[in-house]
Structure 1
């Protein structure tokens, strides 16, 4: 599960795939549920919500009492983010039932966070505040960080940029301290959108790219499509897309249009 939070997407997917193969061979439903959950966490961090939704649904097929609440929470977030609102609402209803049985700060805090995602009005803020307060009483720091992140995203969408930056900074710092690379990048992207410059860690972000990632990023910045890059580098379009997703996560970007500026900043820092 820890691999799903870390920077190396390739390594995480390899570990998860091995876990799925082993669990399938042994007929271990609990392990399969956890593997799909780990993939959903990874993909929610990478903002790949369609894929997160698919794996969260697969995880929820295994109604393991100990982990079912985790699966449902991922399904709610992914469902809301990718437009599968009916499925997210159904998952929230089941999550409410699970939370009432457990009645812990963790279960009630995660449920409040998920409820806020589905709220249409200002009641969302009350739920986000409850989530932050309850999760702040637990040792689940990474779940607290996610509450700050989602609350910050909500505040920014409501044009409360000062309040949003406070929450997003808290999320960014917690994720970075935990080593959750994809979620750190997601928080950084939100901070930039809110108008704040994310503090440098002393090195241009583009220096963290591998040679192949940097080459693919440069070609994409020049306007080449994935198939054109694949042809030029003798790769498959799928491999090009894979590396570009890693580039976006490392640089905290959300679109190809941002690539040129990010790579130029890296060159300036290196000179």
Structure 2
């Protein structure tokens, strides 16, 4: 039974491109971690909540889970965990913040000989740089990430390698990466995997039906960033084909999805493409989590569910007085005056960490 090897189950779910199985494993892990009060299980659960949230584009939930995981690590003296933080900064697309964490994680991985963490850092760099449209840097990182062929994360690097290689004119390399990606995703047969492989195929072949196939598959996937990227890539292709009216529909959809989720680098890329068609992108949404620290986000989300200061303090291994001090800062930053008003704030709805 997978419940006896939850960490392995997470890897298998990822290798199968199955976000639904991943979500089920996360739900079990959180419940088991809370009930057992095992720091090891609970930290794994929280890291997976953050990882899953990053992959579906829920930045607020990822931040909250990371804050709780770090609080638990501090309380128990556990070593730092990086992979969930890498996934968040990569998809969020804040260049300097991401580069700093990638450097820290790479140093830690090199020091302790952790190959999977190195692969995570390379994947994060590839995603970040594709979002920033720095395709040569993305190509280098994706090549390094796919070199770890025995690790599931090399599969996640393949679509990044395809995109970066196509943009850099390395078409043979892109075709080879697409072949490997197709083999993996067809074996799993999930809508997510098939959709990502389809838009990668569109990049290599320039065939419109491949982009349409990607959108059809990804409509069934909870991975908002992948769905948005499919619209972005299709819109970019349509613009280069001179189909300005058609491309705007997909570029607008991509920008709305990406900016609405706070995925800043890819959102800017979509906005740049829209401007190239003569249309101005709407301003990005303002997110509550952009105004608060990571720990403040988590405290605010807990209080929004009705948790008392004592309950929050116990959860985060801090004093009730510290919770109250954080709440005062939260109220000041958000321009509110009561706990009840937190429930009406965007990005503070209860998530899987409850």
Normalised by the size of structure 2, how large is the TM-score? 0.55
Which ranges in structure 2 are unaligned for 5 or more consecutive residues? 1-86, 287-354
Residue 200 of structure 1: CA displacement? 3.7
Q: Which moved more, 1:1-10 or 1:173-182?
A: 1-10
**SS of the residue aligned with 1:47?**
coil
Counterpart residue number, 1:56: 142
Higher-Rg member (1/2): 2
Counterpart residue number, 2:316: none
- Determine which of 145, 152, 164 is the counterpart of 1:78: 164
Counterpart residue number, 1:168: 251
**SS of the residue aligned with 2:197?**
helix
Normalised by the size of structure 1, how large is the TM-score? 0.71
Map 1:1-271; keep pairs closer than 5 Å.
1-120=87-206, 124-200=207-283
Which ranges of 4 or more aligned residues in structure 1 deviate by more than 4 Å?
none
Distance in 2 between residues matched to 1:6 and 1:90, nearest whole Å = 28
1:144-168 per-residue CA deviation (whole Å, 9 max, x = no partner) reads 0000000000011111111100000
Residue 109 of structure 1: CA displacement? 0.6
**SS of the residue aligned with 1:137?**
coil
Distance in 2 between residues matched to 1:192 and 1:84, nearest whole Å = 27
| Equivalent pair of 1:148/1:168 in contact (CA under 8 Å) | yes
| Equivalent pair of 2:93/2:266 in contact (CA under 8 Å) | no
Residue 82 of structure 1: CA displacement? 1.0
| Equivalent pair of 2:89/2:98 in contact (CA under 8 Å) | yes
Residue 7 of structure 1: CA displacement? 4.6
Distance in 2 between residues matched to 1:195 and 1:94, nearest whole Å = 38
Distance in 2 between residues matched to 1:147 and 1:44, nearest whole Å = 13
| Equivalent pair of 2:146/2:155 in contact (CA under 8 Å) | no
CA separation of 1:201 and 1:100: change in aligned 2, threshold 3 A: closer
1:67-108 per-residue CA deviation (whole Å, 9 max, x = no partner) reads 232111100000001111111111011111111211111111
Residue 6 of structure 1: CA displacement? 2.2
Distance in 2 between residues matched to 1:201 and 1:26, nearest whole Å = 40
Paired residues, what number? 200
| Equivalent pair of 1:99/1:107 in contact (CA under 8 Å) | yes
Residue 65 of structure 1: CA displacement? 5.0
**SS of the residue aligned with 1:196?**
coil
**SS of the residue aligned with 1:43?**
helix
Counterpart residue number, 1:245: none
| CA-atom RMSD in angstroms | 1.5
| Equivalent pair of 2:196/2:226 in contact (CA under 8 Å) | yes
| Equivalent pair of 2:175/2:204 in contact (CA under 8 Å) | yes
Structure ranking higher on relative contact order (CA contacts 8 Å, 6+ apart): 2
1:229-258 per-residue CA deviation (whole Å, 9 max, x = no partner) reads xxxxxxxxxxxxxxxxxxxxxxxxxxxxxx
| Equivalent pair of 1:30/1:64 in contact (CA under 8 Å) | no
